[in-house]
Amino acid sequence: MQQQLLISSLLIHAERHHGEQEVVSRRVEGDVHRSTYRELAVRSRRMANVLAARGIAPGDRVATLAWNGYRHMELYYAASGSGAVLHTLNPRLHPDQVVWIADHAEDQILFFDLTFLPLVEAVASRVKTIKTFVLMTDRAHMPAASKVPDLLCYEELVADASDNFDWPQFDENTASSLCYTSGTTGHPKGVLYSHRSTMLHTYAAALPDALNCSARDTILPVVPMFHVNAWGLPYAACMVGAKLVFPGPFLDGKSLHDLFESEAVTVSAGVPTVWQGLLAHVESNDLKFSTMRRTIIGGSACPPAMMRAFQQRYDVQVLHAWGMTEISPLGTACTLKPKHHLLDEDERMALQAKQGRAVFGVDLKIVSEDGRELPRDGKASGELLVRGPWVIAKYFKGEGGNPLVDSWFPTGDVSTIDADGFMQITDRSKDVIKSGGEWIGSIDLENVAMAHPAVAMAACIGAKHPKWDERPLLLVVKKPGAAVTRNELIEFYDGKIAKWWTPDDVVFLDAIPLGATGKMQKNKLREQFADHELPTA
Ligand code: AMP
């Protein structure tokens, strides 16, 4: 049969075959909400009717500013399933960036959690295309007055809509969702996924040697639904019928551990920073994990000490994975092969510290600076290139031109690949900093510094940080005779960028190394400051 691969089929399947399976959410409002796939499907159909009634046409962008929760999940299916495009905005960005991205995406309607009311109030009069604002809560939690024009209440819209809605059939190459990444230079760029790319990615992600999802699992995605669709877990969970547990905004160690235990979570997924908070809480309170069997760690390299703590102290298996927004995001997962179980503990740990082998559908290779393919010997390191049916061919609206090199997507990561196909990231060629799983644009930070009258040249690099993985370190060459202090420069950032982007430290240099074309050689700076100790706050 010729059937289109459509995201709505996941929800139809989950309702029909796993209707009783639970979807549990800790809500922004503070309580724990219990629901099922059946209810989720009914409410998603209602929401699809709401979108249609509000004039959302196929292809229109439906924006969200929301935590992980059932209402967000309903929008995942209502928007994409009805042929519109779900656009998950990142609420951690500076309001100016949120406005820029919403305008660029031409968002038509915005759904947002209570937490983000102040943010939406700050941007509502500035965004050009959003006509409708919906607060994702019930009447009791609606503000008495708001600066947001004609603010609608999510629960009222759902209650008033019919649940009679037939998911439309259309070409599987239709766009389904949109996510912006700042992981490249210049303005944030949009990555547009299709129904086909999402469905193929979901099949692959659920496989045993990939994220290994099944109906026997209770999955708690800590990775936000505004980060590459929570690594695809909201789709994979429906495909396999796993119980889903959403943490809402409560991502501290205690809240997560409580939820793991009360909901008997077996699998979780997130960036190392989150796990650090969790482990610290568990350690200092002498707790354990009674049901957690596996945790998927990605977004940044998983420190070996974290792996040891999870596996040796708490008997929670770590799955180290690598991916990026541009590849939906899954690229590799570090699942060992049978022969590796003969390795001793240290050797096994060293292997697990690698980002892993390609999941079926993703092809990897590493190349030298002149584009030659390098051997898969675990030693040669070069830029990592990928291709596959869920890898982008271009950014949304063609921004930045053609990113491909000979039909391969250059990741900006530098890695090795060993004879068994295990890839290990060794460096990053892109000039960005990743802090707690979120990008910080080094060029934006340099531009602010360069605007200071005493600064002749500024370079910003990521310095190692025990909690955030990387934090911005600003390296500055002063103008001759000019005077400025570290603290003055740090204060200079006030109000110009999101506060958490502010550099942690400033070091004054006589010169910044430049390459033949006059470009700053940040790899040299990264090497020079590899052991730089950032001041503790
Ligand atoms: P994002 O688009 O925000 O998902 O970021 C993708 C980038 O995060 C990759 O290109 C890598 O630089 C980095 N990254 C993701 N996973 C890992 C990992 N397991 N180890 C090291 N870096 C990672």
Q: What is the distance in A from the centroid of ligand 1 to the CA of 276? A: 17
Residue whose pair of structure tokens reads 């102290």 in the numeric block: 313
What number does the ligand 1 atom closest to the CA of 412 have? 10
428 in contact with ligand 1, CB cutoff 6 A: yes
For the stretch 60-69, pLDDT in tens is 999 999 999 9
pLDDT bin (cut points 50, 70, 90) of residue 359 is very high
Q: Give me the long-range contacts of 522-531 (CB less than 8 A, separation at least 24).
A: 522/431, 522/442, 522/459, 522/461, 523/427, 523/429, 525/459, 525/461, 525/475, 526/427, 526/461, 526/462, 529/461, 529/463, 529/473, 529/475, 530/464, 531/464
Least confident of 35-49, 319-333, 455-469: 455-469
Sequence ranges of the domains in the chain: 8-20+31-194, 433-528
Residue nearest to atom 15 of ligand 1 (CA): 299
208-242 tens-digit pLDDT: 999 999 999 999 999 999 999 999 999 999 999 99
433-528 maps to CATH 3.30.300.30: yes
Average confidence (pLDDT) over 491-508:
95
Give 347's contacts (C-beta < 8 A, 6+ positions apart). none
| Substitution site in 178, 225, 425, 427 for ligand 1 pocket (most atoms within 8 Å of beta carbon) | 425
Kindly list the catalytic residues: 181, 326, 434, 439
Neighbours of 244 (CB within 10 A): 28
Beta carbon of 181 within 6 Å of any ligand 1 atom:
yes
Give the residue, by CA position, lying nearest to ligand 1 atom 23. 300
- Given the candidates 3.60.15.10, 3.40.50.1000, 3.40.50.12780, 3.40.50.300, the CATH classification of the domain at 8-20+31-194 is 3.40.50.12780
Angstrom distances, CA of residue 379 to CA of 382, 421, 448: 10, 12, 39
pLDDT for 159-208, tens place per residue? 999 999 999 999 999 999 999 998 777 789 999 999 999 999 999 999 99
Whole-number Å distance, alpha carbon 314 to ligand 1 midpoint, is 26
- State the distance from the centre of ligand 1 to the C-alpha of 439, rounded, in angstroms: 10
The reply to whether 433-528 shares the fold of 8-20+31-194 is no
Name 19's Cβ contacts closer than 8 Å, sequence gap at least 6: 36, 37, 38, 41
* Cβ density class 210-227: b for 16+ within 10 Å, e for less: bbbbeeebbbbbbbbbbb
Q: Is the pLDDT of residue 516 over 80?
A: no
CB of residue 299 inside a 6 A radius of ligand 1: yes
Tell me how many helices (H) and strands (E) the chain has: 17, 25
Asked whether residue 429 carries a pLDDT value surpassing 90, the answer given is: no
**Per-residue tokens: 315:** 């008997």
**Degrees to nearest 5, angle at CA 155 with 154 and 156:** 90
Per-residue model confidence as pLDDT tens digits over 363-409: 999 999 899 999 999 999 999 999 999 999 999 999 999 999 999 99
Q: Is the pLDDT of residue 521 over 90?
A: no
Question: What mean pLDDT is predicted for residues 275-286?
Answer: 96
Taking the model in full, what pTM does it have?
0.93
Whether the CB of 301 sits within 6 Å of ligand 1: yes
Angle between helices 37-53 and 70-81 (to 10 degrees): 50
Residue with tokens 């420190």: 303
Structure confidence at residue 84 (pLDDT): 98
Q: What is the mean pLDDT of the chain?
A: 96
Which ligand 1 atom sits nearest the alpha carbon of residue 428? Answer: 12
* CA-297 nearest atom, ligand 1: 19
Per-residue exposure over 291-300, b if at least 16 CB sit within 10 Å of its own CB, e if not: ebebbbbbbb
Per the rule left: phi > 0, alpha: psi between -120 and 50, beta: everything else, 172 is alpha
Question: Do 377 and 423 contact (CB within 8 A), yes or no?
Answer: no
pLDDT bracket for residue 537 (50, 70, 90): low
- Out of 366, 413, 429, mutate this one to test ligand 1's pocket (max ligand atoms within 8 Å of CB): namely 413
Residue whose Cα lies nearest atom 22 of ligand 1: it is 300
